[in-house]
Amino acid sequence: MQLKMKVYLAGPDVFLPEAKARGEELKTLCDVHGLLGVFPLDNDISNVQIGSHAMADAIRKANMKLIKSCDAILANMTPFRGPSMDVGTAYEMGVGAALGKTVVGYILGDKMGYTEKVSKVHKVTRHEDGHLRDEEGMSVEDFKDVGGEEGLIDNLMISCGVETLCRTEEEGIKALAEIWKTRKVTNK
């Protein structure tokens, strides 16, 4: 039996100027909490031409292989280039979920609901059919928690697809460590 939960560290962090250092920071946090973190930039794709379609394909294939090798996904769901999270990260979360991996997300910064985030970049109004719609007439998701206070943080497939949503990456790592501890106790 594997001693440490292996966690794929998904997110737009790979686009940071110091992305490798960010990956090492996340992997260190995992290690502190008894997990083994793997970062997409751990892949070696030096055998393909930089900027080529072949490189893009090699990155995707290498990341899919890493995800398959992991027990869980920790996803940075912070909005990226718009009101929603990074679409590549969303794809990786979906792959992980489809493979039966535990998926935990975190959002850094402002925790406003999806409807509010969309309203900041689109003209959103309530139509006579009761739906919120943008300037093109497209429905805007407007789901609320029981009591009507909190809206979903992103698209329903993402918001409802995580085991838990945390406020920081360390909180997410701690949640995964607890899940792993419980799973190990249950499997004894």
Q: What is the pLDDT of residues 149-179, one digit of tens each?
A: 668 889 999 999 999 999 999 999 999 999 9
112 or 61: which carries more pLDDT confidence?
Answer: 61
Residue 102: band (very low, low, confident or very high) from pLDDT cuts 50, 70, 90: very high
Q: What Rg do the C-alpha atoms of the chain give, in angstroms?
A: 18
Give the Cα separation of 173 and 31 in Å (integer): 10
In this structure, is the dihedral angle defined by the CA atoms of residues 51, 53, 54 and 56, taken in order, positive or negative? Answer: positive
Q: Quote the longest CA-to-CA distance of the chain.
A: 58
Domain boundaries, the chain: 5-110+154-186, 112-152
User: 1 pLDDT exceeds 50?
Assistant: no
Strands (E), 15-167: 35-38, 72-76, 102-106, 125-126, 132-133, 164-166
**CATH (one of 3.40.50.450, 3.40.50.10490, 3.40.1110.10, 3.20.20.480) for 5-110+154-186:** 3.40.50.450
Residue 39: band (very low, low, confident or very high) from pLDDT cuts 50, 70, 90: very high
What mean pLDDT is predicted for residues 88-116? 93
Give the Cα separation of 1 and 50 in Å (integer): 39
- Model pTM above 0.85: yes
